[in-house]
Structure 1
């Protein structure tokens, strides 16, 4: 027994040391998330790892419990509780009651990956799900005819196409107004309004700059979008942000609701979707004002796009 004790002690020390390093990293990540240090800084790239950090913390907590390390185990438990408090609301339905006769809108968004998305696959989805409004990001002019040839013109004859501005809107319903959003964003965002039972629902096709390219531009884009929040507004597209980013939380605090989180569908990664591995982060969202409620959400991987398509059925309250 005496011969094996030193190796066991050394192994235990190595394990405890590794756990301490991991917990220090998790604590630093949570500090960034809690203080909003990711807003417009290089830390924006690491905050996307918060959901994964919760899993890692849980594993470390178990290892420390087995090793009988009480104080480190207690620290791990505290960190895990903080993360659970942050993440749990995304997996719990808000419980909004929707009248059976409430008007419905079916919306979807897809990043076309510079026109690489399979036009027939996209049109087949629009047809099968009877999509009312479709937002498309990264749609170059040369990709538009292929979508029309696949049947999108017949399904969605109303459109505000701004391929040079980077985002476009297609609709089955007529637009009462449309054009570029009056906001100082890096790429002009496209907006359109449809009439639903006498109510004007305003859509904004979103594509922000990416934080790894220039966190300052990305931050300015998300901040500028706050002015678009309204009771009957829908912002959908590639936000290049997750619900753990401080600026995304600020946008929601302006009066918007994330459709996935509202229904408790809090784990719906959308990027990257063009790899043999599954997507790891949700950058694509459907946000809506308090005058609407989400009834259903879905995601779909389409050939040729590096983002998953996001779908939401919304009811007018």
Structure 2
């Protein structure tokens, strides 16, 4: 009787461990699917684009599952699960770890610097006075605004934005606009296959012409195929834009999305946050509900003619996106290099 009771007690004690073991196995299976989808670029043009924004959080979950598996390693078959958990955790770490290490070129101390900022105004609802304060406090040279409506433009003018950024390329009918302290040239809607025209212009900095593109792509939750085509069109534009290029705005994409990775690689662009090892910057959703921003959808990307000197995020009341502010230094270039 005593031996039977001991065996039953042991089985009872092991039941929660077995349940945890099975739960860990199920979670690892889901983590494998997301990891495989990223590796194969299956989020391009598909509904997988939506869960892909959670890839960094899945990496944390994989490490937690590994710890949990190690805690129940005494169960039969646990060695295989431990090995799987180790491999999956490593699989997540490989693409993410480099983002925590600054790898952009150093900005020369005496290089000309262009200070840029981008903000999705939430259909013009961003507090105009706060936008003007942001521009003044951060000494912004060029400001890209998305979802900027005609009433939003009027509110910004009334708040004094024209006094600090007197040069404009305003296209409320096309969604994105540019404000600049420096004269703008070659402005207008970008000729590219995007859901709505992106606004582009050039500014002269340090004797060179820097091309600017105020970006707002379609959103993958609405139409993942349209979003992917938008990103491909931007990549094509970046390839022909020369090294002194800045794409800034709401890309509706994280660095884990295949279309964003293609834009960076084929377009010869670099992400300002990744340059400085700011791997976990978050810009959306902001100011809506109790949750803090969870993912980064807003970016400043630049060509090889520039280097990131600094980058930060700023909260602006009235909008669900945080602003991104970056200082970009012009790097010396070979005389024969095409300036676009």
Structure 1 length-normalised TM: 0.98
Is 1:98 paired with 2:107? yes
1:301 maps to which of 315, 335, 339: 315
Q: Secondary structure at the match of 1:4?
A: helix
Gaps of at least 5 residues in structure 2 are 1-5, 332-340
1:182 maps to which of 178, 187, 191: 191
For 1:11-160, what aligned pairs fall within 5 Å after superposition? 11-68=16-73, 69-160=78-169
Q: Secondary structure at the match of 1:102?
A: coil
State the distance in 1 between where 2:314 and 2:85 align.
Answer: 36
Residue in structure 2 matched with residue 277 of structure 1 by the alignment: 291
For 1:254-269, what aligned pairs fall within 5 Å after superposition? 254-269=267-282
Q: Shift in Å at residue 3 of structure 1? A: 4.0
Q: Secondary structure at the match of 1:122?
A: helix
The answer to whether the 8 A contact 2:104-2:307 is kept is: no
State the distance in 1 between where 2:25 and 2:60 align.
Answer: 16
State the distance in 2 between where 1:37 and 1:156 align.
Answer: 42
Q: Shift in Å at residue 66 of structure 1? A: 1.5
State the distance in 2 between where 1:99 and 1:37 align.
Answer: 40
Is 1:316 paired with 2:330? yes
Q: Shift in Å at residue 161 of structure 1? A: 0.2
State the distance in 2 between where 1:160 and 1:43 align.
Answer: 35
Residue in structure 2 matched with residue 195 of structure 1 by the alignment: 204
State the distance in 2 between where 1:174 and 1:95 align.
Answer: 28
State the distance in 1 between where 2:129 and 2:79 align.
Answer: 58
Is 1:240 paired with 2:255? no
List 4+ stretches of structure 1 deviating above 4 A.
none
Gaps of at least 5 residues in structure 1 are none
Kindly name which structure, 1 or 2, has the bigger radius of gyration based on alpha carbons. 2
Q: Shift in Å at residue 95 of structure 1? A: 5.0
State the distance in 1 between where 2:82 and 2:210 align.
Answer: 51
Count of matched residue pairs:
317
Structure 2 length-normalised TM: 0.92
The answer to whether the 8 A contact 2:122-2:320 is kept is: yes
State the distance in 2 between where 1:301 and 1:99 align.
Answer: 29
- Root mean square deviation, CA, Å: 0.9
